[in-house]
Each structure stands twice: as structure tokens, then as C-alpha cells.
Amino acid sequence: MDKTHPYDKVYPVTWEQLQRDCRALSWRLVERGPWTGIYAITRGGLVPAAIIARELDVRLIDTICITSYDWQKQGEACSLKCPEGDGAGWLIVDDLVDTGRTARLVREMLPKAHFATVYAKPEGRPLVDTFVTEVSQDTWILFPWDSTPQFVPPIAKARE
């Protein structure tokens, strides 16, 4: 395994699949509300937060701005914009929890908030309260905002 890109597998997620998974997450969260508001972790949590906010009828949405990824390489989590308070009554939404670096930083900022992600990997899973789908640690989740459909030659043609 290449240590600069520790992902052996790719799990492509379509817009339709993301919509279904966010709705499934919303079903798990609706009984835990009502919520004061939603904090979307940027950038990956923005789209899931919008879908979940609609499903839970939450109108107050803010962001927590964290940076930790560069194309298939995770670095140190760094906060660019921090929320106020301890998070009581708030829902934190992110697209996934991977190693837990971002989740740990956000948990320190908002220890009383409920943390939900659409996808979870084993290393980060203990840091979130609610998630929908678990994938292996060596899987790169390819989100629809990071990809585009393109022509792929038939297998027989690609072998020529």
C-alpha cells in the first residue's frame, strides 16, 4: 500500500445516494430533537447539512470552518472559524469521520453538541453520536462534488 495515498478502495457516492443517506440520517436524528440549529463542518458537511436541515425543519444553520484534507492526504486539522458556546442543543453535521482529527477538534469546541456524520470509518466512529454507513479505513469516499461523469472506453478497447 502506498503510504502517501493509504486508500486501497474507492466508494463512489452519487447525488441520489447522498440524498438517500442524508434522509436516513435524518430519520435517526428526528427523535433526538428539537435542535437549536445545525453547525455544518466546511466544506464536506455543507451539502449534507442542507439536506438534513430541510428534513428536520431547522432554519438556523452556521458553519465550523476546518481544514484537514488535500487530495487523498489528511493533514493536521486546523480551525479557520470557531463557534461560540458549548454546543448544547446544536447538531453538528459532517460528510464523514475518517481518522477523527477534525471530530476531536470540533468536540473540544462544542462538547455538548450532538455530532452526526453520513459516513464513518472505524478510527473516527467512536467520536460521532450518529452515522448511517460505515466503510473500511482504507476506502476513499468519492463524493459527487469531487467527481464528474466521463467517458470510459469498453474493457475490450482499453486492453488494446
Q: Is pLDDT at 50 greater than 50 in this prediction?
A: yes
Give 116-132 pLDDT, tens digit per residue: 999 999 999 999 999 99
In this structure, how many other beta carbons lie within 10 angstroms of the beta carbon of residue 92?
25
Q: Domains in the chain, please, with CATH?
A: 10-158 (3.40.50.2020)
DSSP, collapsed to helix, strand or coil, labels residue 45 as coil
pLDDT range class, residue 25, cuts 50, 70, 90: very high
Which of residues 43 and 15 earns the better pLDDT score? 15
Give 74-112 pLDDT, tens digit per residue: 556 566 567 788 999 999 999 999 999 889 999 999 999
**Is 98 annotated as catalytic?**
yes
Q: Indicate which residue of 70, 86, 94, 146 is catalytic.
A: 94
Q: What angle do CA 125, 148, 73 make, to 5 degrees?
A: 40
Q: Is pLDDT at 44 greater than 60 in this prediction?
A: yes
**Is 94 annotated as catalytic?**
yes
Q: Indicate which residue of 95, 129, 138, 146 is catalytic.
A: 95
Q: Indicate which residue of 98, 129, 138, 146 is catalytic.
A: 98
pLDDT range class, residue 68, cuts 50, 70, 90: low
Q: What is the pLDDT of residue 1?
A: 41
How high is the mean pLDDT of the chain?
A: 88
pLDDT range class, residue 155, cuts 50, 70, 90: confident
Report H helices in the chain. Answer: 15-30, 46-56, 101-109, 155-158
